[in-house]
Amino acid sequence: MKPLGMSKIEILIVAAIIGILGLAAVVAVSTARSRTRDAVRLGDVFQIQTSLEYHFLDHNAYPVVTDELPIGSPSAACLSNQGWSASCEGDEDVYLTAAPFNPTSGLDDLSGCDGYSNAYCFVSDGEGYRLEFELEHANALLELEGGVNCASEDGVKSGSCLSLP
C-alpha cells in the first residue's frame, strides 16, 4: 500500500519551482516598471521639444538660456512667449503650462544642473538648444543608450550634449 501525501523531496521540489516562478515574476515587473519610466521620460522630452518648436515658429528663436536650466523645477515650470518662467499667469502665448520634471527613480545621477540631479537640463542660444536627459535602458529603435542622451532642434541623439557639435 502506498502512503498518502507527498514525500519531503516532492515538497522541496514544488517549493523550489514556486520560488523560481516568484523570482521571475519580480524581475519581470521590475523591468517593466523601469521601461515605463523611460517611456515617460521620452514622452516628456518630445513634449518639451514640441513646445520649443511652437515657440520658435512664433518668435523665430528658441528661448535664450545661457546657464543650464532644470526643466520642471519651480523656476522653469512654464514656457510662454516670455520664455521659461515659474508661472504663465498673464502671458498671452503659452506653449507648455506645466513642464514635466524627470521621474528620478532608477537613475544614476548622470545628468543634472543647478542643484537638481536627474533633471532635464536645458540650454539655448536662441538659434538652437540642447536638452540633456538620462534613460535607464538603451532604446534600439531611437538609437539611444542607457545613461545620458541629448535632444536638440535636430532630434534626439545618444550621449551627452557636451559631446555634440
Query: Are the C-beta atoms of residues 114 and 128 closer than 8 Å to each other?
Result: no
Cell 541623439, located at residue: 157
Distances (CA, A) of 35 to 28, 135, 138, 149: 11, 9, 10, 16
Is 132 within the bounds of a domain?
A: yes
Q: In whole angstroms, what is the distance from residue 87 CA to residue 75 CA? A: 8
Is 2 within the bounds of a domain?
A: no
Distances (CA, A) of 128 to 104, 124, 154: 27, 6, 9
**What is residue 3's predicted lDDT score, i.e. its pLDDT?**
66
Is 45 within the bounds of a domain?
A: yes
**What is residue 91's predicted lDDT score, i.e. its pLDDT?**
84
Q: In whole angstroms, what is the distance from residue 76 CA to residue 69 CA? A: 7
Query: Are the C-beta atoms of residues 90 and 144 closer than 8 Å to each other?
Result: no
Is 1 within the bounds of a domain?
A: no
- The closest of 125, 123, 147, 164 to 41, measured between CA atoms, is 147
**What is residue 163's predicted lDDT score, i.e. its pLDDT?**
57
What is the tally of structural domains in the chain?
1
Give the range of the structural domain holding residue 37, as residue numbers without chain letter: 8-163
* Grid coordinates given for 106: 532608477
**What is residue 2's predicted lDDT score, i.e. its pLDDT?**
65
Residues contacting residue 128 through CB under 8 Å, at least 6 positions apart: 62, 152, 153
Is 43 within the bounds of a domain?
A: yes
Query: DSSP string of 107-156?
Result: --S-SEETTEET-EEEEE-SS-EEEEEEESS-BTTTTB-SEEEEEETTEE
Per-residue pLDDT of the chain (165 residues; tens, 9 = 90+): 566 777 888 888 889 999 899 888 888 777 788 889 999 999 999 999 999 999 999 999 999 998 999 998 888 889 998 899 998 888 888 999 988 888 878 888 888 888 888 889 999 999 999 999 999 999 998 999 999 999 999 999 999 887 544
Is 59 within the bounds of a domain?
A: yes
Query: Are the C-beta atoms of residues 145 and 135 closer than 8 Å to each other?
Result: yes
**What is residue 11's predicted lDDT score, i.e. its pLDDT?**
86
Is 33 within the bounds of a domain?
A: yes
- The closest of 71, 163, 66, 164 to 121, measured between CA atoms, is 71
* Grid coordinates given for 123: 540650454
Is 114 within the bounds of a domain?
A: yes
